[in-house]
Amino acid sequence: MRLTLDDGDVYAYAGARAHDAALRTVVFVHGAANDHSVWALQSRYFAHHGFNVLAVDLPGHGRSDGAALGSVDAIADWIPRVLDAAKIDRAAVVGHSMGSLATLACAARYPERVRKIALIGPAVPMPVSDTLLAAAKEDDHVAFEWINGWSHSAGKQVGGNQVPGMWMTGSALRLMERTRPGVLHTDLVACHTYSTGLEAAKDVRCSTLVILGGRDVMAPNRNARALIEALSDKRSVTFQDTGHALMAEQPDAVLDALREFL
């Protein structure tokens, strides 16, 4: 569905379902240089199992208008505006990577709007190397290739996608290649400069689920330990032999963890 904000239209995948005010809502927030389709299986499941779903394309990404938001806090401030446009008071928010940081910040800044949060592949801090930032700034294709390599566990570099017939790393690379010029750099800067994650975690009052990949190179697990420690009402699960692309590598396990939590 398309939602109209005062600075442009937003696309949100809703599972081909009309909004039902009687149902709870889940918002899915993707990571850098991605779009709503990274949640394809999970978002479709919830849309057909008693939830309203808004799997958004962030501004500047996918089918949404506008420029990419320049900071994690800016994305956090944007999420309630999407809820306003959809006439939704409260929602659970699920975020991946950069989206997990925005989800964390949103829960801290807008506790009245956020019912629960799930953080998938978070890291606080989430530093980005100067080399990668430089490549992204030049829109050098190698930036996508590096991210793709770091985001998938070694096993998945070979294959074994649970989705029949789909080449996981090829699909992920092709999705990133659709990113508009400059957007990857903006996203990576947002991750790199987000410095208030632990303070935000302390301010979160809702229940939090943290899902980690045991072989995450892009956002190493060690950078999630302090975050988990700082959260009050939390649970965490780590999928072994899984990289940063958790929804792709472990679609059913991620879904089951979310089902149990949400």
Partner 1 sequence: MNKPKTFHLDTLSLHAGARPDPATGARATPIYQTASFVFPDSDHAAALFNMERAGHVYSRISNPTVAVLEERIAALEGGVGAIGTASGQAALHLAIVTLIGAGGHIVASRSLYGGSHNLLDYTLPRFGVEAAFVNTRDIDAWRDAIRPNTRLLFGETLGNPGLDVLDIPRIADLAHEHGLPLLVDATFTTPYLSRPFEQGADLIFHSATKFLSGHGVVIGGLLVDSGKFDWNADPSRDKFPTLTQPYRGFHDMVFSEESTTGAFLLRARREGIRDFGACMSPFTAFQILQGIETLPLRMQKHVANTRRIVAFLSEHPMVAAVGYPELPDHPDHALAQRLLPLGCGAVFSFNLKASRTQGRKFIESLNVFSHLANVGDAKSLVIHPASTTHFRMSTHDLTQAGITEGTIRLSVGLEDADDLIEDLSRALYASGKA
Does 159 participate in binding partner 1 (rule CB under 8 A)? yes
Comparing CB distances to partner 1, the nearer of 66 and 111 is 66
* Per-residue x/- track, 101-140, partner 1 (CB under 8 A): ------------------------------x--xx----x
For CA atoms 240, 220, 207, 48, the dihedral sign is negative
Of 11, 64, 31, 29, give the one whose Cα is nearest residue 190: 31
Does 233 participate in binding partner 1 (rule CB under 8 A)? no
* Six-digit token string for 139: 């829109």
Comparing CB distances to partner 1, the nearer of 159 and 214 is 159
Residue 33 beta carbon to partner 1: minimum distance, rounded to whole angstroms: 12
Q: Which residues of 119-152 are buried (b: 16+ CB within 10 A; e: fewer)?
A: bbbbbbbbbbeeebbebbeeeeeebbebbbebbb
Residue 124 beta carbon to partner 1: minimum distance, rounded to whole angstroms: 25
Which residue of 33, 44, 236, 262 would you call a contact of partner 1, by CB under 8 A? 44
What string of H, E and C letters represents the secondary structure of 8-48?
Answer: EEEEEECCCCCCCCCCEEEEEECCCCCCHHHHHHHHHHHHC
Residue 155 beta carbon to partner 1: minimum distance, rounded to whole angstroms: 7
User: What's the Cα-to-Cα distance from 108 to each of 88, 199, 231, rounded to whole Å?
Assistant: 18, 9, 11
Q: Taking a C-beta distance cutoff of 8 angstroms, is the pair 57, 63 a contact?
A: yes
Does 142 participate in binding partner 1 (rule CB under 8 A)? yes
Comparing CB distances to partner 1, the nearer of 141 and 202 is 141
Which residue of 2, 158, 199, 202 would you call a contact of partner 1, by CB under 8 A? 158
* Six-digit token string for 132: 């990668």
Which residue of 48, 50, 195, 229 would you call a contact of partner 1, by CB under 8 A? 48
Does 50 participate in binding partner 1 (rule CB under 8 A)? no
- CA 249, distance to chain mean position in Å, is 15
Of 72, 71, 73, 81, give the one whose Cα is nearest residue 8: 81
Which residue of 8, 89, 166, 260 would you call a contact of partner 1, by CB under 8 A? 166
Pick the piece of the chain touching partner 1 (CB under 8 A) from 67-75, 100-108, 159-167, 183-191: 159-167
Of 218, 260, 217, give the one whose Cα is nearest residue 237: 260
Q: Tell me the C-alpha distance between 100 and 117, whole Å.
A: 9
Does 237 participate in binding partner 1 (rule CB under 8 A)? no
Does 41 participate in binding partner 1 (rule CB under 8 A)? yes
Q: Taking a C-beta distance cutoff of 8 angstroms, is the pair 249, 243 a contact?
A: yes
Residues near partner 1 (CB under 8 A) are 13, 16, 35-37, 40-41, 44-45, 48-49, 62-63, 131, 134-135, 140, 142, 145-146, 148-149, 155, 157-167, 170-171, 174-175, 177-178, 251-252, 255
